[in-house]
Structure 1
Amino acid sequence: MAGLKNLKKTRRIQVVVFAAIALALSTGLIGFAMRDGINLFRSPAQIAADPPRAGEVFRIGGLVEDGSLVRGEGTNVTFAVTDGAESVPVHYEGVLPDLFGENQGMVGTGSLVDGVFIATEILAKHDESYMPKEVVDALKEQGVYQAPDS
């Protein structure tokens, strides 16, 4: 009888240990799979203060600096994004959203190469009053946010 109790106890411990290992392994695999899907948001001032590591994909947001928008050959576009404190040059090849323009809010995804943000995706506000929350927060932090007229 004592041997049967020890066998059940041993089996129970093995099941608990196996379950803990399986949980740790699955959590690690999920984290590994998501590492490329997580893009941190940074404002131009944050980029100037703490530049990202080489090849890091992140999102940048702010206002398209007045007078900086230059359309090149084909779909090449360069401009600067600012939060009022700092400005970061941006290069993008592709079709810009219809509401994209100077002094308008934008968020771009890409990476920093030699001080220039190379964007792979550009998002612009979708109506007259909307601006992405991250951009509003960054502009408020710099003291340059102006609420849209209602």
Structure 2
Amino acid sequence: MTRKARRLILIGTVGAVLAAAVGLVLFALSGEITLYKTPTELAEQPMTEGRRLRIGGLVEVGSVARGNGGQVEFKVTDTVNAVPVTYTGLLPDLFKEGQGVVAEGKLDQAGLFHADTVLAKHDERYMPKEVVDALKAQGVWEEGQPGGPMPPAASN
């Protein structure tokens, strides 16, 4: 076997091993990918039952109902559509009606979203970028409105 043939075999083997490694990593991560959707996107393209996803928007005013055992039911809205959410556990201190929220969990057949994680804005000037972008796309958001992305730090 010539030197050139050995080099080609080596390059081909390394390429095949790298392709197999990338394929295995992508396969392993496919179960960990969490899609972000707004209530309107869910209404237009319903997700398959049991698929993990994130929904974001505003907590609909008047929709928060607290039950026994720390169970909370509320609706996430983008002012066009709303998704009912149920969550069991402690909510963030800053969770309240009319504020930005991102919930992570699964949607059931009836359209009820079972959240296992609820994230609320962390101060009065911040809302998750995905939520702001979705509200801007709906024509609801105006620049300079409270809850927008944090402004750059002022230099001294």
Q: TM-score, normalised by structure 2?
A: 0.89
Aligned in 2, Cα 1:149/1:63: closer, same or farther, shift over 3 Å? closer
Q: Give identity over the alignment, percent.
A: 50
Question: Which one of the candidate residues 97, 103, 114 is aligned to 2:98?
Answer: 103
TM-score, length basis structure 1:
0.92
1:66 aligns with 2:61: yes
Q: What is the one-letter code of the residue matched to 1:94? A: G
User: Which residue of structure 2 lines up, in the alignment, with residue 148 of structure 1?
Assistant: 146
Larger Rg over CA atoms: 1
Alignment partners' CA distance in 2, 1:69 and 1:54: 24
1:131 aligned onto 2:127:
yes
Distance 1:35 1:121 in 2: 20
CA distance in 1: counterparts of 2:147 and 2:16, whole angstroms: 56
In 1, the alpha carbon distance for the partners of 2:130 and 2:140 equals 14
Equivalent residue pairs, number? 145
Q: How many Å apart are 1:149 and its aligned residue?
A: 8.0
Asked if 1 retains the 8 angstrom alpha-carbon contact of 2:64 and 2:72, the reply is yes
Spell out, residue by residue over 1:44-83, the C-alpha distance to the aligned partner (whole angstroms, 9 max, x if none).
0000000111211010000000000000002100000000
User: In the alignment, which residue of structure 1 is the partner of 2:27?
Assistant: 32
Runs of 5+ consecutive residues of structure 1 not aligned to the other structure = 1-5
RMSD, aligned α-carbons: 1.4
Q: What one-letter code is carried by the residue in structure 2 that aligns with 1:148?
A: P
4+ residue segments displaced more than 4 Å: none
Say if 2:127 and 2:147, in contact at 8 Å, map to a contact too. Answer: no
